[in-house]
């Protein structure tokens, strides 16, 4: 049941005791990329911003099934399952069936509940590259299954998100719709009540679009994110070009390698009809070209396309990381703007105090103060009683602003600390995904070239049997 014990940014015990654990990816066995192999390391020399783990969570998404198939409300459900030793779970092997909208709810509310965490994005509902057919076609469902599988893997690789009660309910609950309604009605992070910062005009808060005193650590992080995203975007464009030159996806022969090899096979077969003495070898050679063309097309579908989808997904994941950095900057800007506002109100209060005491006139406090006094005089508000009343209100405002500045400062510092920890988590997850992604691509290329070599090796003895009279 979700309630006040939700593991969120404001209430989670970040320095929780660690316990021995082992992690893995989607495959069987208790090892894999992106997971800390043990949490029992020594505390000596440990960076305070290093994340701590309480256990492992191994997730999978499989078995897409079309529900309510003959109705207008048809949808696809997926079997989500996990293997875990996290104490928050009531069973080590939870499982449930969920639809895409359930994943959307999970992602949306995790982002709200954990604003300092890089919550991975979901695949766009209508954007699945290189997939033909409607949303109930096998190709579409399989591609979406892989995307949702990757989404849950990323959550499982996060030491905070993996322990959220909402994620636990996602895997365990048999009354998920009740859980969703309860979570909306009683969110673990209460809505922020309107305070001092909400009463300040937008023109004040938006006067500066950048942090006035930037932290070099976060500037370096932003620069690193920029370079990473630039490199991923360039790689995506280049691999797209390679893909389109290899197989443009058109079933008809086109201006790509698969089409060229198909056309070459037809041309060689035509030669076989003309060269009666070597018709059979030429036909075999033509068949080899056709097989090679089919191999190229197959490699594009099972290796290149998934690689491109994963590459684009990694870019979107990095965008989510950028959003957390931007939110951290906003927290600092809130503190800076409140501090500036407090200084302005305090200066106004000191000006009035100086005028009342007679120690200084308006002329000594600048043109703006002089004009303000003259306007007050024209309104009949130049008497000391009006000034005293204004000072009383300003004193109350100063006290309110001082509390708000203190809160904003604490929030900014806490958010900065969480962001530093989050960057280490994201860096490890990113490296693990790149290792997995590049490894899968390399394995696919190896399989392709092995199969291609076998095809060409089979044709060599046939070609060598061609008799050449000297």
Confidence bin at 252 (pLDDT 50/70/90): low
Confidence bin at 292 (pLDDT 50/70/90): very high
Quick one: average pLDDT of 193-219?
A: 64
Sign of CA dihedral 33, 39, 45, 51: positive
HSE-CB for 290 with a 13 A CA cutoff: 11
Q: Strand, helix or coil at 338? A: helix
d(CA 388, CA 390): 5
Could you give the percent of the chain with pLDDT greater than 70?
75
First to last CA, the chain: 89
Q: Which residues contact 316 (CB under 8 A, 6 or more apart)?
A: 121
Q: How far, in Å, are 16, 97, 307, 443, 454 from residue 447 at the CA level?
A: 45, 34, 15, 6, 11
pLDDT in tens, 162-186: 999 999 999 999 999 999 999 999 8
d(CA 265, CA 278): 15
d(CA 263, CA 290): 9
Residue pair 333/236 in contact (Cβ under 8 Å)? The answer is: no
Quick one: average pLDDT of 206-231?
A: 85
Q: How far, in Å, are 166, 219, 225 from residue 119 at the CA level?
A: 13, 21, 16
Confidence bin at 119 (pLDDT 50/70/90): very high
Q: Identify the pLDDT of residue 7.
A: 42
Task: Name the average pLDDT for the chain.
Answer: 81
DSSP element (H, E) containing 63: strand 57-67
Please say if the pLDDT value at position 220 is more than 50: yes
> Longest Cα pair distance anywhere in the chain, in angstroms?
124
Confidence bin at 207 (pLDDT 50/70/90): very low
Lowest mean pLDDT segment, chosen from 29-33, 247-251, 311-315: 29-33
Q: Identify the pLDDT of residue 212.
A: 85
Confidence bin at 201 (pLDDT 50/70/90): very low
Q: Which residues contact 114 (CB under 8 A, 6 or more apart)?
A: 8, 9, 160, 161, 164
Least Cα distance to 101 among 56, 67, 134 occurs for 67
111: exposed, middle or buried (C-beta count within 10 Å: 0-12, 13-18, 19+)? middle
Lowest mean pLDDT segment, chosen from 26-30, 231-235, 434-438: 26-30
DSSP element (H, E) containing 307: helix 305-357
Confidence bin at 3 (pLDDT 50/70/90): very low
Least Cα distance to 123 among 395, 371, 377, 315 occurs for 315
Q: Residue 371 corresponds to which tokens in the numbers above?
A: 């004009």
Lowest mean pLDDT segment, chosen from 84-93, 286-295, 356-365, 373-382: 356-365
Q: Identify the pLDDT of residue 383.
A: 60
Q: Which of 12-16, 72-76, 195-199, 298-302 tops mean pLDDT?
A: 298-302
Q: How far, in Å, are 126, 138, 247, 310 from residue 131 at the CA level?
A: 11, 10, 14, 14
Quick one: average pLDDT of 329-337?
A: 91
Please say if the pLDDT value at position 39 is more than 50: no
| Strands of 95-99's sheet in order across | 57-67, 75-84, 95-99
Please say if the pLDDT value at position 244 is more than 50: yes
Quick one: average pLDDT of 285-309?
A: 93
Q: Which residues contact 189 (CB under 8 A, 6 or more apart)?
A: 6, 8, 9, 10, 112, 113, 115
Confidence bin at 37 (pLDDT 50/70/90): very low
Radius of gyration of the chain (CA): 32
Please say if the pLDDT value at position 276 is more than 80: no
Please say if the pLDDT value at position 226 is more than 50: yes
pLDDT in tens, 423-433: 999 999 999 99
Q: Strand, helix or coil at 30? A: coil
d(CA 463, CA 234): 43
Q: Which residue has the tokens 């082992």?
A: 22
pLDDT in tens, 125-164: 645 544 455 778 888 898 899 999 999 999 999 999 999 9
Least Cα distance to 248 among 310, 309, 314, 305 occurs for 305
- Check residues 367 and 14 and name the one with the higher pLDDT: 367
d(CA 115, CA 167): 16
Please say if the pLDDT value at position 294 is more than 90: yes
């Amino acid at each position: 049941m979700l309630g006040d014990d939700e593991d969120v940014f404001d209430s989670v015990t970040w320095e929780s005791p660690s316990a021995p654990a082992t992690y893995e990816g989607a495959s069987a066995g208790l090892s894999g990329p992106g997971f800390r192999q043990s949490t029992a390391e020594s505390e000596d020399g440990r960076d305070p911003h290093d994340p701590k783990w309480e256990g492992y969570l191994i997730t999978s998404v499989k078995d897409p099934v079309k529900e309510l198939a003959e109705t207008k409300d048809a949808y696809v459900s997926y079997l989500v399952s996990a293997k875990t030793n996290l104490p928050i779970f009531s069973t080590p092997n939870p499982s449930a069936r969920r639809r895409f909208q359930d994943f959307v709810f999970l992602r949306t509310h995790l982002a709200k509940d954990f604003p300092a965490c890089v919550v991975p994005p979901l695949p766009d509902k209508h954007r699945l590259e290189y997939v033909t057919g409607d949303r109930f076609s096998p190709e579409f469902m399989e591609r979406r299954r892989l995307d949702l599988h990757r989404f849950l893997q990323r959550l499982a690789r996060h030491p905070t998100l993996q322990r959220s009660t909402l994620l636990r309910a996602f895997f365990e609950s048999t009354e998920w719709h009740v859980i969703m309604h309860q979570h909306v009605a009683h969110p673990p992070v209460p809505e922020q009540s309107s305070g001092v910062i909400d009463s300040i005009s937008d023109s004040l808060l938006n006067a500066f679009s950048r942090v006035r005193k930037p932290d070099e650590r976060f500037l370096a992080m932003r620069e690193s994110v920029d370079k990473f995203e630039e490199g991923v975007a360039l790689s995506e464009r280049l691999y797209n070009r390679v893909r389109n030159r290899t197989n443009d996806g058109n079933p008809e022969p086109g201006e790509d390698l698969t089409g060229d090899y198909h056309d070459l096979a037809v041309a060689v077969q035509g030669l076989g009809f003309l060269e009666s003495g070597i018709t059979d070898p030429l036909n075999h050679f033509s068949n080899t070209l056709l097989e090679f063309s089919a191999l190229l097309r197959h490699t594009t579908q099972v290796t290149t396309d998934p690689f491109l989808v994963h590459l684009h997904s990694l870019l979107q994941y990095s965008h989510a990381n950028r959003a957390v950095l931007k939110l951290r900057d906003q927290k600092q800007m809130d503190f800076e703007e409140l501090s500036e506002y407090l200084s302005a109100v305090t200066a106004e209060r000191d000006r009035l105090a100086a005028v009342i005491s007679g120690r200084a006139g308006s002329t000594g406090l600048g043109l703006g103060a002089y004009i303000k006094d003259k306007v007050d005089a024209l309104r009949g508000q130049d008497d000391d009683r009006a000034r005293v009343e204004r000072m009383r209100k300003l004193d109350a405002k100063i006290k309110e602003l001082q509390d708000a500045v203190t809160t904003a400062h604490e929030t900014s510092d806490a958010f900065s600390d969480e962001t530093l920890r989050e960057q280490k988590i994201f860096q490890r997850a990113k490296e693990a995904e790149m290792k997995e992604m590049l490894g899968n691509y390399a394995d696919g290329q190896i399989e392709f070239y092995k199969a291609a070599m076998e095809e060409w090796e089979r044709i060599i003895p046939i070609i060598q049997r061609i008799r050449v009279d000297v």
